[in-house]
Amino acid sequence: MSVQLPNTIPAFKAHLESGALSAGEAVELQVRRFADLDQQTRAVVRALAPPPHAPDQSLPLGGVCLAHKDIFNLPGHRPGLGRDRGAESVGMVQAPCLSLLEQAGAINLGTLAMAEDACSATGQTQKLPTPLNPLGADMAVGGSSSGSAVAVASGMVYASLGTDTAGSVRIPAMTCGVMGLKTTHELIPRDGMSPLCPSLDSVGILARSTADLTAVLQVMAPNLAWETADMDSEIRVGFWLDGADLDQEVRQVIAPVMRRYGQQHLDLSGHERCLTSLQELVMAYEVAQTHASRIARGLACPQVQSLGAYGLTIPASWWRAALRERPDRLAQFVDHAFASADVLLAPLQTGFLPTTREVYLGDDAFKSAKLLGLHRYCGWINYLGLPALSMPVGTGAHGMPVSIQLVGKPFSEPKLLALGRQIATDIHGEHGIWPVLRLEG
């Protein structure tokens, strides 16, 4: 076939409407691309056959092929959760978030690799192949939505779903040089999604452009205030830079971007430290409760075993107190950070993208500071339940991407995407799309 797939979902839909692509041809091209690139990336856990009938092009995502983290229930099939490839499960009902995409015409091509039990800042796995970062096979792949980021970065799919408990959408988006949207806690239904830490878990979306993030989120959360996504509307921007623990090289990349778009600097160091401590307490306690049986039998992965063992020592009263504090902490933060800003630009990574050996536990080259640097500025946002958009804004050593995160008040995703679109178009032109990155050989 000589026809090439367009780079974004809106462009793809326009091709279908113009007749440049037939519905059947479009699906065939996407299926072939998905399978071919998986040979290089190892991102797929279980490939799914597309439906035999032609897609309804009139639907918002009609004919768009996606794939998702292997953490969501499928019809009659349980997810593998990074432990295995899943298995048939009679009577299992598809996760509602996947049904929303299906009803909008999207086609699910398969389940994607993840860190075991969604509990790791890297994609390191013991029981299944670890997906390869399209930036280079020796570069770290963030977790736990590792396969979701790799599939998007390599061009296997336009977008994918992941989950974010302490950065598990934003971290792999950062390491693979794409965009990752952690949505407001409970914005997207989590039914049919295996929990890690229910008070912190959120469904997220990964893509290479805000256009694709928007196309997916609009069918999953149509009641958001999408009129605020108009680029012509004024968005007040604050930024946090001073007081953040950043390598000087990273600071040099992100500081000009923050100062270009931000009108007011805020030092959020005190908030971040306190909120991170509360998030860590809640996460350890709930991981211990979620996986108590597997921890007791020694069946949990090392990350869950270690975190859960600590969580089992935390009194329930401390956990309840941390959750009771959350509404007040959120109100205090909103009053401070968003008094004169709609969107906050904040650090995401503390240093340049590490290699796999630097962040894989047990490796001779392991550096704890490198691993910590992947999730250092993520968890506090989960504690507050805020939405956050991870996006690359430049490159550092060896041409590797450097990302920041755009943070907003609850349910302000349209404004995050609007500002993200402005930044991306300023960097990459009209379509604001981050390049497809593919492994050599």
Print burial letters for 103-113: b (CB count within 10 Å at least 16), e (below 16): ebbbbbbbbbb
Q: Nearest-CA neighbor of 104 among 212, 191, 219?
A: 219
Cis, peptide link before residue 18, omega less than 30° from 0: no
What's the one-letter identity of residue 58?
A: S
Helix pair angle (413-428, 248-261), 10° resolution: 110
- Residue of higher predicted confidence among 434 and 357: 357
Amino acid identity, residue 326?
Answer: R
Question: In this structure, are residues 170 and 348 in contact, taking their beta carbons and an 8 Å threshold?
Answer: yes
pLDDT value, residue 232:
53
Residue 2 banded pLDDT, cuts 50, 70, 90: very low
Work out the average pLDDT over 28-39: 96
State both tokens at 367: 């550096």
Which backbone phi and psi does 90 adopt, to 5 degrees? -60, 130
Judged by phi (left if over 0) then psi (alpha if -120 to 50, else beta), residue 63 lies in left
Q: Put the strands of the sheet holding 107-112 in their side by side order.
A: 44-47, 107-112, 65-69, 159-164, 202-207, 179-182, 388-395, 401-408, 343-347, 237-239, 264-265
Please provide residue 329's backbone torsions phi and psi, each rounded to the nearest 5 degrees.
-60, -40
Mean pLDDT computed over 53-63: 94
- Which residue has better confidence, 227 or 257? 257
Dihedral (Cα; 98, 61, 166, 83), 10-degree rounding = 50
The two tokens of residue 58 are: 């009139």
Q: Which residue in 170, 376, 168, 410 sits closest to 272, CA to CA? A: 376
**pLDDT tens, 153-201?**
999 999 999 999 999 999 999 999 999 999 999 999 999 999 999 999 9
- Which structure tokens are listed for 412? 């302000």
Q: Could you say which DSSP state residue 131 is in? A: P
Q: How confident is the model at residue 21 (pLDDT cuts 50, 70, 90)?
A: confident
Contacts of 216 (CB under 8 A, 6+ apart): 9, 61, 66, 101, 106, 159, 205, 207
Q: Mean pLDDT for the chain?
A: 94
Helix (H) or strand (E) run with residue 237 in it: strand 237-239
Q: Which of 287, 80, 326, 300 is nearest to 198 (CA)?
A: 287
Between CA 261 and CA 366, with CA 242 as vertex, the angle to 5 degrees is 105
What's the confidence (pLDDT) of residue 124? 85
Contacts of 321 (CB under 8 A, 6+ apart): none
Integer Cα distance of 84 and 127 in angstroms: 7
Residue 182: φ, ψ to 5°: -85, 120
Largest CA distance in the chain: 64
Give the torsion sign (CA, 166, 168, 171, 174). negative
pLDDT higher than threshold 50 for residue 441: no
Output the pTM of the full model: 0.97
Range 226-255 average pLDDT: 87
Average pLDDT over residues 354-370: 94
Domain boundaries, the chain: 9-428
For residue range 117-148, list pLDDT tens digits in order.
999 999 888 889 999 999 999 999 999 999 99
pLDDT, tens only, 265-293: 999 999 999 999 999 999 999 999 999 99
Q: How many Å apart are CA 201 and CA 183, to the nearest integer?
A: 10
Q: Which residues are catalytic?
A: 69, 144, 168
**Is residue 272 a contact partner of residue 87, using CB atoms and an 8 Å limit?**
no
Beta strands 87-88 and 77-78 are: antiparallel
Name the percent of the chain lying above pLDDT 70.
Answer: 97
CATH architecture group of domain 9-428: Alpha-Beta Complex (3.90)
Query: Are 226 and 249 contacting, i.e. CB atoms less than 8 angstroms apart?
Result: no
Contact 407, 388 (CB under 8 A): yes
Alpha carbon of residue 204 to chain centroid: 5
pLDDT at 106: 98
CA distances from 357 to 23, 45, 140, 298, 371 (A): 44, 23, 8, 26, 10
Residue 320, pLDDT above cutoff 60: yes
Tell which residue, 188, 7, 160, 192, has the closest CA to residue 91.
192
Q: Per-residue confidence at 398, pLDDT binned at 50, 70, 90?
A: confident
